[in-house]
Structure formats: C-alpha cells, structure tokens
C-alpha cells in the first residue's frame, strides 16, 4: 500500500480504510473481473450491448470484487500481520474493527442486491448462486491446493450472466468462453501465487503454485493452451467473423510471451506478467467486437 496514493490524497480519512478493504486502491482485480464480462455482453448482444447493461455489469463487478476482498481480509486478519506485504491492511493493522468490516460487507451485499432488480429472473438466480462462492473463496486455501479454481469460477461468473440476461439462455459456447476464462485465471493467478509461496508455507496455506512446483511453466502453459482452444471453439459455435480469430491469434501470442518470461526461480517477475493480463481482457472485448461487427 502506498501512503501517498489517491485514496490518501482525495478521500476523507475515515473513508480510506474502507476503500482499501474493498481494494479500490488496487483496481487490477476489478478490471480482470469486468473485462471478460464485457466481452461476453458483446458476444451475447451480437454487437453493441445496451448502455444500461454495461452500467449494471460494471457496478456488479466492482461490488462483488469488493465483497470478496472484504471477506478475504476478515478471514485472513490473523495471518496478514505476519506477512510484510499485508501487515498494513486495515483490519490487521487496527484501522478498522471486525464489527465495522462485517457491517461494510453487509452494506456492499445490500447494494449488490439492489442490482438484482435490473436483471431478469434467470440471471437473478445465477447471481444468488454466486454469493456463497465469493464468501468461501478465502477459506479454500486452508484445505485445498486449488483456491485459484474457486476464484476463477466466481470472478468470471458475470460472463454466464451476460448471456442469460441478454438472451435468457445459456448456450454451450457461452459456457465454453467461461470455462476458458476460468482456466486463464487459474494460470495468471498461479503466476501471482508463486510470489507468495514462501509466506504461504510459513502460514500453512495452500495454492496451485505449491501444487505445480517446479513444473509451473508446463502447468500454466497448458492452462493457457486450453483457454485458447475453448475460446476458438466458442467463436466457431457463435459463428463469429474472421476478425475474432485474428485477435485470438494476438491473445495466443501474448500467452506465449508470458510463458517465455515466466520463471519459477524468479517469482518476483510475476507481478508484471500478472498485471499484463488486463491487456488480454481488453483484447477479449476487441475480439468480440471484431467477430460480431467485421464480416
């Protein structure tokens, strides 16, 4: 956390800890949640989605990512003070009480619930099914090496809802795009997880990075390859134009670039690679637009 960032400069002092609790100061996760959902909205609309849906889904991504981060810090408050990277988080540093954090989580869920009024019945049920996944994700690293899989399922859920809200159906190619995004997220979150392996071992926590071990490049490369195959199959199922496949080739090249630079022996390099996946998210939107608008 930077003491001189926009949260410290622009928000009232009393608001700062809440902004940091829901990671408003760290927007990468929000973008990685939102961009695939926007791409799915374009695909489901077969072109430009309505402005109303763009607003609703953007707010949903922001709020549900905030809920997930809030519960993460609530469950990890006794771990965070033992790790240099996290010891200044609002709960573990004493800037907020547990009671205040719980009330804030409830408030975010309440505002999120108001968005249910803006989507159809099918999508409401999907949204309700998402909430338990978001809440339990932080606990998964205590008993499974695959918490990143739970995260990938939860934080790409908006892709499924994009189809159900736009067309009131969930076609196989929409599911294929979502599964590809889940595997993509497992891959790039594994890159990030290698940075925390030493701390996680000290705390008795688990991650896919520990499971992959020295074979991280092969595992992550396999995840990325499967992602590309699923996204290509989904594009074929949707009947997208040649522009989609041209941009998918660029995405495949980006995946190859990541693997060329990833090294399990130098996990500190992973932060740059992790953040670069925002470019993949943007390219997903460009591919969806190219595939639907360019014939």
Q: What does the pLDDT read at residue 77?
A: 87
Query: In angstroms, rounded to a whole number, what is the distance separating the alpha carbons of residues 209 and 230?
Result: 23
Could you list the pLDDT tens digit for every one of the 295 residues in the chain?
A: 566 778 888 888 899 999 999 999 889 999 999 999 999 999 999 989 999 999 999 999 999 999 999 999 999 888 878 887 878 889 898 899 999 999 999 999 999 999 999 999 999 999 999 999 999 998 999 999 999 999 999 999 999 999 999 999 999 999 999 999 999 999 999 999 999 999 889 889 999 999 999 999 999 999 999 999 999 999 999 999 999 999 999 999 999 999 999 999 999 889 999 999 999 999 999 999 999 988 6
Going from the C-alpha of 75 to that of each of 79, 92, 242, the distances in angstroms are 9, 10, 47
Query: In angstroms, rounded to a whole number, what is the distance separating the alpha carbons of residues 63 and 66?
Result: 5
**The domain at 6-293 falls in which architecture?**
Orthogonal Bundle (1.10)
Distance of CA 53 to the CA centre of its chain: 19
Neighbours of 171 (CB within 10 A): 15
Q: CA 207, 71, 116, 130 torsion: positive or negative?
A: positive
Burial class (CB in 10 A: 0-12, 13-18, 19+), 122: middle
Query: In angstroms, rounded to a whole number, what is the distance separating the alpha carbons of residues 16 and 10?
Result: 9
Q: Which residues contact 30 (CB under 8 A, 6 or more apart)?
A: 23, 61, 62, 65
Q: What is the DSSP letter of 115?
A: G
* Contact present, 183 and 156 (Cβ < 8 Å): no
Q: What does the pLDDT read at residue 1?
A: 57
- 45 token code pair: 């609309």
Q: What does the pLDDT read at residue 295?
A: 67
Query: In angstroms, rounded to a whole number, what is the distance separating the alpha carbons of residues 209 and 265?
Result: 12
Residue of 135, 138, 182 whose CA lies nearest to 157: 182
Buried b (16+ CB within 10 A) or exposed e, 209-219: bbbbeeebbeb
Query: In angstroms, rounded to a whole number, what is the distance separating the alpha carbons of residues 153 and 69?
Result: 16
Q: What is the DSSP letter of 83?
A: S
Q: Element (H or E) spanning 145, and its range? A: none
pTM of the model: 0.93
Q: What SS3 state is found at 253?
A: helix
Q: Residues 62, 275, 272, CA angle at the centre, nearest 5°?
A: 155
Query: In angstroms, rounded to a whole number, what is the distance separating the alpha carbons of residues 154 and 152?
Result: 6
Output phi, psi for 142, to 5 deg: -85, -20
- 215 token code pair: 């074979």
* Contact present, 29 and 64 (Cβ < 8 Å): no
Q: C-alpha dihedral over 132, 164, 242, 221, to 10 degrees?
A: 10
Q: What does the pLDDT read at residue 6?
A: 80
Query: In angstroms, rounded to a whole number, what is the distance separating the alpha carbons of residues 97 and 217?
Result: 41
């Amino acid at each position: 956390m930077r003491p001189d960032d926009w949260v410290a400069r622009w928000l009232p002092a009393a608001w700062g800890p809440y902004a940091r609790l829901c990671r408003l100061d760290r927007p990468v996760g929000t973008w990685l949640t939102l961009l695939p959902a926007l791409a799915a909205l374009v695909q489901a609309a077969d072109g430009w989605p309505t402005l109303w849906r763009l607003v609703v889904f953007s707010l949903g991504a922001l709020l549900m990512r905030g809920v997930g981060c809030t519960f993460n810090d609530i469950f990890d408050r006794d771990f965070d003070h033992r790790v240099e990277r996290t010891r200044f988080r609002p709960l573990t540093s004493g800037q907020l009480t547990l009671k205040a954090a719980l009330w804030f989580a409830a408030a975010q869920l309440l505002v999120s619930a108001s968005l249910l009024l803006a989507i159809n019945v099918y999508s409401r049920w999907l949204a309700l099914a998402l909430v338990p996944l978001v809440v339990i994700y932080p606990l998964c690293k205590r008993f499974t090496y695959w918490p990143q899989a739970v995260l990938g399922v939860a934080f790409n859920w908006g892709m499924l809802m994009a189809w159900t809200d736009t067309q009131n159906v969930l076609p196989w190619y929409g599911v294929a795009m979502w599964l590809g995004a889940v595997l993509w997220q497992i891959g790039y979150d594994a890159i990030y997880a290698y940075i925390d392996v030493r701390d996680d071992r000290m705390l008795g926590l688990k991650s896919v990075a520990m499971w992959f071990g020295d074979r991280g490049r092969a595992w992550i490369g396999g995840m990325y390859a499967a992602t590309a195959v699923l996204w290509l199959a989904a594009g074929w199922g949707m009947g997208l134009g040649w522009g989609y496949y041209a941009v998918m080739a660029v995405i495949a090249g980006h995946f190859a670039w990541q693997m060329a630079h990833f090294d399990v022996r130098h996990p500190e390099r992973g932060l740059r690679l992790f953040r670069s996946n925002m470019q993949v998210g943007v390219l997903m939107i460009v591919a969806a637009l190219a595939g639907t608008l360019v014939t």
